[in-house]
Structure 1
Amino acid sequence: MKLFVQIPCLNEEETLPLVLKSIPREIPGVDEVRVLVIDDGSTDRTAEVARSYGAEVLRHPRTMGLARSFRDGVDYALAHGADIVVNTDGDNQYPQERIADLVWPVIAGQADVVIGDRQTGTIAHFSPFKKAMQRFGSRVVNFAAGTDLPDAASGFRAYSRAALLRLNVVTQFSYCMETIIQAGNKRLAITSLQIVTNAKTRESRLFTSPWQHMYLSGRAIVRSYLMYRPNVILGWIGVPMLVAGLVPFVRFLVLWFAGDGDGHVQSLVFGTAMLVGALLTFALLVIVDLLRTNRILLEESLERIKAVQYGAARRDTAPAGGAGRPSTAPPELAREAEELAASETAVAS
């Protein structure tokens, strides 16, 4: 069992040593712990500090954002045979000594994703407004994902290999909300672990103000929700427009049969506009549903491609003598990957 602890960093020269020193290198149920620092275009000595503590470094020549750093770190970890990937921050916000507790549900097969619950209501440097927004944001994410997580914005997380093969990060701002919504709609097992955060070391570099964070997070949530449940949003738009269009027609017919049909053309015009809008909404719903079906097929194909790609990398990085653990990918994907690899070998020979 191989565990990668990945740390996205942007100018974390001062706090990174605190993180790296507190990461446990021996965890029950884990054969190997490797630390990966994703240097997202830092202008200080973040990369040098990481290497001095024995961490592997993946560096971006310019800042590309947290979501891209997470995605590149996951790609690197899977390509090097990771069974579990833990994500933490370089500002020493999270208690790294709890990594063993964080990964245990994954090792035991009880969860695909484990999220550290910061218990935001108890964090002293969070203002009442920020605490309220954290609770509200978590409720919105839980509604979109069909989950019950107390701290959806926490970046202290553990992912199984099988979960990472199924998740695809497409947003540019942050992976936190998107991966929960994807995991929930893909019926992955998600649980949380209560943690106590460390003392604050600096202000967040992910956003400049709470309002910007709310806007960017809300946009990411809406986009992710539309990917999986477009029928809900379009249904809530189309049905009221249909009702609003039928009511004026019914009213006109009642007045017309009562002999008072003159002078009510405005009702017909309004009703016609609403019915046309409802028709367009339902037509769009059909198109979106077809696109949703196509997206599901593409995601399944991508999952199989990942299983083949990272399965080959896993065989290349396995110790001699077959000491490597079997892949955590679903059995049908593993069999398909083996069959595809065998066919490629036969063609090459």
Structure 2
Amino acid sequence: MLPAHQDPQRRELSAQDPVKLIIQIPCYNEAATLGLGLDALPRQVPGFERVEWLIIDDGSTDQTLQVAQRHGVDHLVRHRHNLSLARAFSSGLSACLHQGADVIVNTDADNQYDARDIPALTAPVLAGNAELVIGSRPIEQIAHFSPLKQRLGSLIVRLASGTQVDDATSGFRALSRSAAQRLIVFNNYTYTLETIVQAGHRQMAIATVPVRVNPDLRPSRLLRSIPSYVWRSIVTIVRIFVIYRPFRFFASIGAILFGLGVLIGLRFLWFYLVGSGAGHVQSLILASVLLGMGFQTILVAFLADLLAANRRLLEDVRFRLHDQPPPSSRHR
């Protein structure tokens, strides 16, 4: 578990305050498995006065919505057409915040995760030790899992975020209200990697807890192939770096280009001084191009840093708007 960071915006849960937990499930054509997952969800969790369920129907064309209604789901969010798992996750967070959730648990509609571990998942949030808790699956013991996928995703996330998350691709996670208010998913593929990288860059307190899994009911819809997964993960991480570390990203590229230009320019200068510079004019041209590109990229780094500062101000405004008192119906 990572140490908790002090944040003036962090909302501590108080034992005297009514505490609401909302369990959200993003769904897309999950009629065959959703009922099993809902049957396993708890209506009482230690530390919470209310436990509610929220379904995000991401444009399903089967009976997903009807299954959710028959099982007494408290809240339904429906997309008119399929957007993506990441968009469904974000819609769920917004709806949970609107409904006054103090803690949000996200789980899958295919009943992959054992709902009996929800109390363990929420305990670090209730204790004030974490704002984001990731459920770590026993990857080595699961036959249908791809160890390469799990290890690669977790390695990339550790390098990009500076966190120590064992199972970065796990969708079984708990978020405090303040964490849900500050996380913004830009990627349209999956939310798992991006939210952890964001949380690391925002210095949120992150914890992992071991969780159990149920037998596999269907293959993953995200993992079409290992190369596709690797490519999309890399694109996601690069986008996060551009958004949250723009100066470092562009300045590093600019420094490399500028440095290569200096080295090639010194090489031309050496040949020029020894009297054979006429045969190495190409080096002079290449050095000039690289120096110009490097200088311009470094200028872009400063401009990107200014834009990032403006984005942080807008995110702070967004956080304060979300932190307004929830509707009066919250604790009815």
TM-score when scaled to structure 1? Answer: 0.85
Query: Which of 41, 44, 64 is 1:23 aligned to?
Result: 41
Contact kept in structure 1, 2:153 and 2:193, CA below 8 Å = no
Alignment of 1:189-268 (within 5 A): 189-268=205-284
Contact kept in structure 1, 2:84 and 2:189, CA below 8 Å = yes
Query: Which of 25, 31, 42 is 2:60 aligned to?
Result: 42
Indicate the residue corresponding to 1:316 in structure 2: 328
- 2:270 match: secondary structure: helix
- CA shift at 1:185, angstroms? 0.4
Distance 2:32 2:70 in 1: 13
Distance 2:330 2:168 in 1: 35
1:282 aligns with 2:301: no
Distance 1:260 1:92 in 2: 72
How large is the Cα RMSD of the aligned pairs?
1.7
Alpha-carbon displacement from aligned partner over 1:122-174 (angstroms, at most 9, x marks no partner): 21112xxx212321221111111110101111000000001111111222211
1:90 aligns with 2:116: no
Query: Which of 148, 157, 178 is 2:173 aligned to?
Result: 157
Contact kept in structure 2, 1:147 and 1:184, CA below 8 Å = yes
Distance 1:273 1:152 in 2: 41
Distance 1:63 1:307 in 2: 29
Distance 1:185 1:35 in 2: 30
Indicate the residue corresponding to 2:70 in structure 1: 52
Alpha-carbon displacement from aligned partner over 1:30-87 (angstroms, at most 9, x marks no partner): 0000011111122222111111111132222221211111111111111111000000
1:104 aligns with 2:123: yes
Distance 1:256 1:222 in 2: 41
Contact kept in structure 2, 1:119 and 1:151, CA below 8 Å = no
Indicate the residue corresponding to 1:11 in structure 2: 29
- CA shift at 1:183, angstroms? 0.8
User: Which has the higher Rg, Structure 1 or Structure 2?
Assistant: 1
1:123 aligns with 2:138: no
Query: Which of 87, 93, 101 is 1:68 aligned to?
Result: 87
Alpha-carbon displacement from aligned partner over 1:83-122 (angstroms, at most 9, x marks no partner): 0000000101000110011000000101000001113222
Gaps of 5+ in 2: 1-18
Indicate the residue corresponding to 1:303 in structure 2: 319
Contact kept in structure 2, 1:27 and 1:100, CA below 8 Å = yes
Gaps of 5+ in 1: 321-349
Distance 1:61 1:270 in 2: 53
CA spacing shift, 1:180–1:263, aligned 2, 3 Å:
same
- CA shift at 1:259, angstroms? 4.5
Indicate the residue corresponding to 1:325 in structure 2: none
TM-score when scaled to structure 2? Answer: 0.89
- 2:44 match: secondary structure: coil
Runs of 4 or more above 6 Å deviation: none
Indicate the residue corresponding to 1:342 in structure 2: none
Q: Given residue 316 of structure 1, which amino acid in structure 2 is its aligned partner?
A: S
CA spacing shift, 1:219–1:260, aligned 2, 3 Å:
closer
Alignment coverage as a number of residue pairs: 313
CA spacing shift, 1:237–1:5, aligned 2, 3 Å:
same
Q: Given residue 22 of structure 1, which amino acid in structure 2 is its aligned partner?
A: A
- 1:121 match: secondary structure: helix
Contact kept in structure 1, 2:241 and 2:249, CA below 8 Å = no
Distance 1:256 1:158 in 2: 65
- CA shift at 1:218, angstroms? 2.4
Range with greater deviation from structure 2 (135-144 or 199-208): 199-208
Indicate the residue corresponding to 2:6 in structure 1: none
Distance 1:278 1:304 in 2: 39
- 1:39 match: secondary structure: strand
Contact kept in structure 2, 1:138 and 1:153, CA below 8 Å = yes
Q: Given residue 9 of structure 1, which amino acid in structure 2 is its aligned partner?
A: C
Q: Given residue 317 of structure 1, which amino acid in structure 2 is its aligned partner?
A: S
Distance 1:258 1:287 in 2: 42
Contact kept in structure 1, 2:113 and 2:214, CA below 8 Å = yes
Q: Given residue 252 of structure 1, which amino acid in structure 2 is its aligned partner?
A: F
Distance 2:295 2:129 in 1: 46
Q: Given residue 49 of structure 1, which amino acid in structure 2 is its aligned partner?
A: V
Alignment of 1:320-335 (within 5 A): none
Contact kept in structure 2, 1:112 and 1:159, CA below 8 Å = yes
- 1:15 match: secondary structure: helix
